[in-house]
Amino acid sequence: MNSSNPEGTYLTKSVLEVNGQKLKSLFNAALIWVKVNQQRINSLNVFPVPDGDTGTNMFLTMQSAYQEVAQSNDNNAGRVMRTIAQGALMGARGNSGVILSQLLRGFARALDEKEQIDAPLLIKCLTEARNTAYKGVVRPVEGTILTVAKDIANYAETSLTDTNNLVQILEAIVKEADRSVKRTPELLPILKQAGVVDSGGIGLFFLLEGMLRFVKKMPLDETGVEKHAQIVPIADLEILDNAIEPGQDFEVVVDFVPNSPINIETLYTDLAKIGTSIQIGEGDSMYRMHIHVPRNNQYMPINYIDKIGTVQKVYIENLIEQMRKKGTINTQNSSIKIKEGQIAVVAVSPGEGISKIFYSLGVAAIIPGGQTMNPSTKEILDAFENLPTDKIIILPNNENIILTAESTIPMSKKKVAVIPAISVPQGLIACLRFDPEGDYESVIKEMTESLGEVETGEITTATRSVQINGVDVKKGEVIALHNGKLVDSSKNLTIASMNLLDKIGAEKKEHITIFYGSGLKESQVNKIIQPIKAKYTEQEIEIHNGGQPHYQLIIAVE
Amino acid sequence: MTDKKDHLGKITVSQHAIATVAYQSALESYGVVGMADKDIVSGLSKLLFKDPAAGVTVNFDGDSVTIDMYIVVEYGTRISSVASSVANNVKFQVEKVIGIPVKSVNVHVRGLHVSNAD
């Protein structure tokens, strides 16, 4: 996906026909816009089921649809649309996703194999989309995405037949979609009770609006999103002390009584210039404002509130200090500042000590995870989406995490590369080649090539009896793995690690680095290390507290 | 029958009542075009039964219920998504309307209905 709008120029004021490639670009814009507004759509869900995250479901359905045509150079609009519909069907998620896929299917059917879409055909397609979607349910619930699709089609049939300008039609149906979405609470009482509009309906609106924004060359990123301003009861104010963004060091809370009724939109807009994580709460004849601001800005919210009302109480907390006390930020972490345009590396780390080493090697963010605790796509995405650069490199450091890491590539607007490091030592060796200022492609190449320069040894306890690679393992025995392959099973740690180093061929190498796990005491570690030091006198041996679970030892040999 | 103790007496809800709620919510689920007779595999000829019990079975399991839905799905939709949304919808509606915990909803897709062949 790409948020830039290089091809937006072709759709000038008057467009009479759209071919396959233009259709594809429009779809990409729709996909991006739904993604950007995903959380907004999710927040409108009133049913705990069946569509808990309408925005996410619609985005994933759209993504699956677009992926089918992403590489296509076909100029035939009909064929492109049919492929999109096919992709949507395969990836349909949740109720709204299924309905969306039916809408696209109907649209594609009316388009048939036509080279271009023109105005009469577009209206026919919208009509067929509506008809197909309604065939999929016995008792349509009105006030949903179905209603919005129906309203658009009806409006196009009755009011848009006298123009042949597609831009004009698109503009008109986006407006009608907006009106239709706003009518949904009148049709579906549960929406009215919750004070929201239908989530699937607004999802369809964003889909169409994304296309229109693309045509009008308006931005397709967060800058185009209206601030989600709302007042909540004071008790519902969430003090998110984990949500510290870089540079937002102070939390400021001000209780105040406004001089005149406050305009929430203005308040949000003004405060957004000062800081982030803005929340406004309402209590007994007073308001509470919550904001995170950078150092040196910490008095600005107070001065601002002072102008619009009477300040009653002020509360300021240094978040960085607070987090440091809790131990959730270590110094290496907060000292790393990624500058714009630099390359940022995010690494998956199984333990505290290993994380520290990664940080010291210039890693921008750590995703906790490893054996039996694979991070999700979202956790990986979250680790880098807020970094102030668009060049990202992920070090999964575990074979089972590579695929998850790769799945973030199409989901982010940033350039993302995954270095297939299958172990912590591989991740560390790759970091040594990392140059934040370097050329993105060559840094990736260098880091990937470096993976072979380290031998990985791992020591863990067998969870069941098994025979692999000719090694007989009994449950509870200590097993040794060389580059992920089982090479030894022994009664105790010392023997296992000696055998492992022997299999790796450590006597011909120069460095042995040992990370011991959270399950080992220092006295135990010393016992293991002594014979190693005695045997490998030529090699440099380093010992670190890795803090990883499951693996008593992770060993890097170079 | 399932019983609930109220401070005045007993409230009894029949399987048929639960089946009716389940039936209604299934028909409101997107992608479901009808219920199929649970005993006959070719449900296509008998779309839209008037009797909800025909496509729904309800079994009591201690204090909770297990519901089996026999549905006909619109051709061209993603069947797994439709089926899981039926299960969610039925569980949500039955628990909300009747107030009995639903232990599981098994969805049996007994046929596809073709409105338009592509």
Interval A177-207: pLDDT, tens: 999 999 998 998 888 877 788 999 999 999 9
Of B30, B33, B88, the CB nearest to A98: B30
Q: Which has more confidence, A56 or B3?
A: A56
Percent over 90 (pLDDT), chain B: 27
* Residues on chain B touching A127 (C-beta within 8 angstroms): none
Cβ contacts of A132 on chain B, cutoff 8 Å: 76, 115-116
In sequence order, what are the residues at sequence separation of 6 or more whose Cβ sits closer than 8 angstroms to the Cβ of residue A396?
A348, A402, A404, A405, A418, A419, A420, A421, A422, A427
Reply yes or no on whether the pLDDT at A4 is more than 70: no
Residue-level pLDDT at B39: 57
A105 closest CB neighbour out of B30, B34, B76: B76
> How close does chain B come to A224, measured CA to CA in Å?
32
Q: Which of A21-30, A221-230, A449-458 has the lowest mean pLDDT?
A: A221-230
Alpha-carbon Rg for chain A, nearest whole angstrom, is 29
Chain A residues closer than 8 Å to B118 by CB: 105, 109
Cβ neighbors of A24 (< 8 A, separation 6 or more) are A66, A69, A70, A72, A80
Q: Is the pLDDT of residue B24 over 70?
A: yes
Peptide bond into A420 cis (omega under 30): no
Strand order in the sheet with A415-418: A365-368, A343-349, A391-395, A415-418
pLDDT for residue A46: 66
A99: nearest CB among B30, B32, B33: B30
Looking up tokens 């890795």 gives A546
* Per-residue pLDDT at A448 exceeds 50: yes
Residues in chain A: 558
Q: What is the mean pLDDT of residues B52-63?
A: 82
Average pLDDT over residues A270-295: 76
B33:A135 CB<8 A: yes
Secondary element (H or E) of residue A489:
strand A485-490
* pLDDT computed for residue A63 by the predictor: 92
pLDDT of residue A146: 94
Write down the pLDDT at residue B42.
43
Selected residue with higher pLDDT from B48 and A308 = A308
Q: Cβ of B89 and A132 within 8 Å?
A: no
Question: Quick check: A332 pLDDT over 50?
Answer: no
pLDDT digits 0-9 by tens, A340-366 = 788 999 999 988 888 888 887 888 888
Residue with the two structure tokens 């004849």:
A285
- Chain-chain contact of A92 with B88 (C-beta, under 8 angstroms): no
Residue contact A137–B92, C-beta within 8 A: no
- Predicted pLDDT at B41: 45
Enumerate the β-bridge partners of residue B72. Answer: B34, B111
Average of per-residue pLDDT across B68-93:
90
Complex prediction ipTM: 0.72
Q: What is the pLDDT of residues A200-238, one digit of tens each?
A: 999 999 999 999 999 888 888 766 555 444 555 454 444
Give me the amino acid identity at A256. F
Residue A92: predicted pLDDT = 85
User: Which residue of B lies nearest to A135 if distances are taken between CA atoms?
Assistant: B115
The DSSP annotation for A494-539 comes to HHHHHHHHHHHTGGG-SEEEEEE-TT--HHHHHHHHHHHHHH--SS
Cβ-Cβ contacts under 8 Å between A and B: the total is: 79
Quickly count: other Cβ atoms within 10 Å of residue A39's Cβ: 13
Is the CB of A136 less than 8 angstroms away from the CB of B31?
yes
pLDDT at A241: 38
Asked if pLDDT for residue A5 goes beyond 50, the answer is: no
B33 vs A contacts (CB less than 8 Å):
135-138
CA distance A92 to chain B (A): 6
pLDDT at residue A317 tops 70: yes
Chain B interface test: which of A61, A99, A135 (most B C-beta within 10 Å): A135
pLDDT digit string, tens, across residues A126-167: 999 999 999 888 888 899 999 999 999 999 999 888 888 999
Dist. CA A319–CA A127, nearest whole Å: 55
What is the structure's pLDDT at A333?
40
- pLDDT score of A270: 83
Q: Which residue has the higher pLDDT, A224 or A176?
A: A176
pLDDT tens readout for residues A525-550: 888 888 888 888 888 888 888 888 88
From A146's Cα to the closest Cα of chain B, the distance in A is: 10
pLDDT of A335 reads 37
Alpha helices in A92-188 (DSSP H): 94-111, 119-135, 145-159, 166-187
> For residue B49, what pLDDT is reported?
45
DSSP class of A47: -
How much is the pLDDT for A437? 85
Say which residue the tokens 């040196």 belong to. A296
pLDDT for the residue numbered B46: 46
Tell if the CB–CB gap between B31 and A137 is shorter than 8 Å: yes
Per-residue pLDDT tens over the stretch A75-110 = 999 999 999 999 998 888 878 888 999 999 999 999
Tokens coding A57: 């479901």
B78 closest CB neighbour out of A50, A89, A109:
A89
The phi, psi pair for B17, rounded to 5°, reads -65, -45
Q: How confident is the model at residue A13 (pLDDT cuts 50, 70, 90)?
A: low
**Which of A29-38, A283-292, B55-64 is least confident?**
A283-292
- Which pLDDT score is estimated for B52? 61
Q: Model confidence over A469-518: pLDDT tens digits?
A: 777 877 778 888 888 888 888 888 888 899 999 989 888 888 888 988 88
Q: Report residue A455 as tokens.
A: 């031998």
CA–CA distances in Å: residue A474 to residues A248, A486, B39: 53, 13, 51
Which of A91, A95, A135 is the closest to B85 by Cβ?
A: A95
